[in-house]
Structure 1
Amino acid sequence: MISLTKTDIKAIDTLMREVSETEIMPFFGKLSDDMISQKSSATDLVTLADQQAERALINGLQRIFPQADVFGEETVAADPVRLDHLATTDLSIVIDPIDGTWNYAHGIAVFGVIIAVISHGKTIAGLILDPISGETIHAIEGEGAFVTNAAGKTAPLRQPAHPAETDLNLIIAKEFIGAHDLPAIIAPFSRVTSLGCSAHEYRLLCKGLYHGAICHGLLPWDHAAGELIYRETGGQTWVREIGTYTPDMTKGKLLLAANPAVMTLLKR
């Protein structure tokens, strides 16, 4: 099993920030119609910035990790079999160049950059950058989770020991809206939301601001990095009817909970 160091994380973080400054932020709020394309639907978009940022991240990561298989969401759209090798490849790096593309394309500042590092089907490191604040949350497996701000100051991330039971917040995927059991699931929670952006939803969870989540559509560029970071904060994760999450999963319902009591609520 390959392992990463803090120096490796710093190199990835630096690259993410550079690409954000050169390929993502210059287009934010300035995209013309010919720079935005539909994929599967009117809400599933790709922009020129997505494509250019993905190329820049792939090139940069291949320089840092020449032995790695590096690919992103847009790569897989053109070559779906790339996902089939996650369980067996020594080192894979999965990129979401702009998570929350719909928000980004409409000038909404709720988007992020996600990178997951995977070895033989196991996530060993993850980073999520908010280009607006310049803040990155990141983790190496077994070494805890951290947040680094735009000034380079780093602090640990931990789940609150005892979140107030009367002030619990939940993130729920839009696919569950209308489900017959939804009222019972959300009843114990004070606030229920969906941001259309895994990067920011994981930021809320990892900072202990939201205490549970039910996720749908387990594509690795959306969840592999955040699921690891969340576990490293002390949070619990579980895939309904399967058990342990692995980054080669593409289907299922991923539950995330700040503590066992919240997980019990989500499993009902």
Structure 2
Amino acid sequence: MSGLDTDAVLALVRDVADEVVVPRFRSLESEQIDEKGPGDLVTVADREAERLLTDALLAAYPGAMVLGEEATANDPSVLERFRAADHAFTVDPVDGTKNFVKGSPDHAVMVAELRGGDVVRSWIWQPQHELAYVAERGAGAFRDGTRLVRPPVGELRGVTSRRSWIGRTLGALSALELTWVCCGVDYPKLVEGDADYAVYRKGNPWDHAPGSLLVTEAGGYVGTFAGDPYRAQDPEPAGLVAAADRATYDLVQGLLPSLG
């Protein structure tokens, strides 16, 4: 293969999910679940989906570098090679593994493509919700083929993945709520107006590269705690804010010191 168009990559993601992720939903045996670290779960579905996606992407793009979450857990040096790559993909084989293990439908399979350090295409497939989110740099963000445009900001509902920040407030803003515990659900929810900003402490590329393009192509903005635009190949930032628009990001970023 010499390359895959956007629809072909989406078909690949869906096929892999159908083959090794969906059959394990609410059917995992205890021996099919491991911990990479305290509370950091990985399942047989994660490992098999990542292998299939990585093999297919490398077959289509022999010169590309593929950064998979599970491969990085086994060999952290993979991350350095990713940061230096001119053409790369990120693969999150089951985003929201904790949800997946618990039997929650809020999980996703995600892939992003980067060229010259920029995310240029991304795919988020929510197999249990049967929703596909696709973004192309300069061409827009889409859900099941329908263009997405971020609705106007309301009273600024904020969510966070850091449980110690739940219930905390930023200035006069309402208290932070918990995210959907899956970036592959969080970012689409942000685009669709179910939240106006999300605050993350970790910035793993496989978690944030796909959704960051979806948000920016729909009119939103993703930046670091330090005030810089998010770039997936940069060293991991101290934290990220994904927002409905630049003004919301600027407001939240300016209030972050109050979180401590």
TM-score (norm 2): 0.89
Distance 1:178 1:129 in 2: 27
Match of 1:107 among 99, 103, 109: 103
Distance 1:60 1:125 in 2: 16
Count, aligned residues: 251
| 1:49-106 CA-partner distances (Å, limit 9, x unpaired) | 1111111111222222222212310011111111112333221111000001111112
The answer to whether structure 1 residue 86 and structure 2 residue 82 are counterparts is: yes
| 1:133-176 CA-partner distances (Å, limit 9, x unpaired) | 2211111111111111xxxxx1001111x3333xx322212255
- Does the aligned pair in 2 maintain the 1:112–1:128 contact within 8 Å? yes
| 1:252 match | 238
The answer to whether structure 1 residue 36 and structure 2 residue 33 are counterparts is: yes
| 2:70 match | 74
- Does the aligned pair in 2 maintain the 1:99–1:222 contact within 8 Å? yes
Distance 1:171 1:191 in 2: 5
- Does the aligned pair in 2 maintain the 1:115–1:127 contact within 8 Å? yes
Which consecutive unaligned segments of at least 5 residues does structure 1 have? 149-153
- The offset of 1:13, in angstroms, is 0.2
The alignment yields a C-alpha RMSD, in angstroms, of 2.0
- Does the aligned pair in 2 maintain the 1:91–1:120 contact within 8 Å? yes
Which consecutive unaligned segments of at least 5 residues does structure 2 have? 256-260
- Does the aligned pair in 2 maintain the 1:88–1:120 contact within 8 Å? no
Shift of the 71–184 alpha-carbon distance from structure 1 to 2, 3 Å rule, reads closer
TM-score (norm 1): 0.87
AA at the equivalent of 1:172: T
- The offset of 1:178, in angstroms, is 6.9
| 2:148 match | 157
AA at the equivalent of 1:52: E
The answer to whether structure 1 residue 193 and structure 2 residue 178 are counterparts is: yes
| 2:13 match | 16
Distance 1:198 1:97 in 2: 12
Alignment of 1:112-191 (within 5 A): 112-148=108-144, 154-160=145-151, 162-165=152-155, 168-174=156-162, 176-177=164-165, 182-185=168-171, 187-189=172-174
- Does the aligned pair in 1 maintain the 2:199–2:241 contact within 8 Å? yes
| 2:195 match | 210
Alignment of 1:227-238 (within 5 A): 227-238=212-223
Distance 2:70 2:174 in 1: 36
Runs of 4+ in 1 over 4 A off after TM superposition: none
Paired-residue identity, %: 30
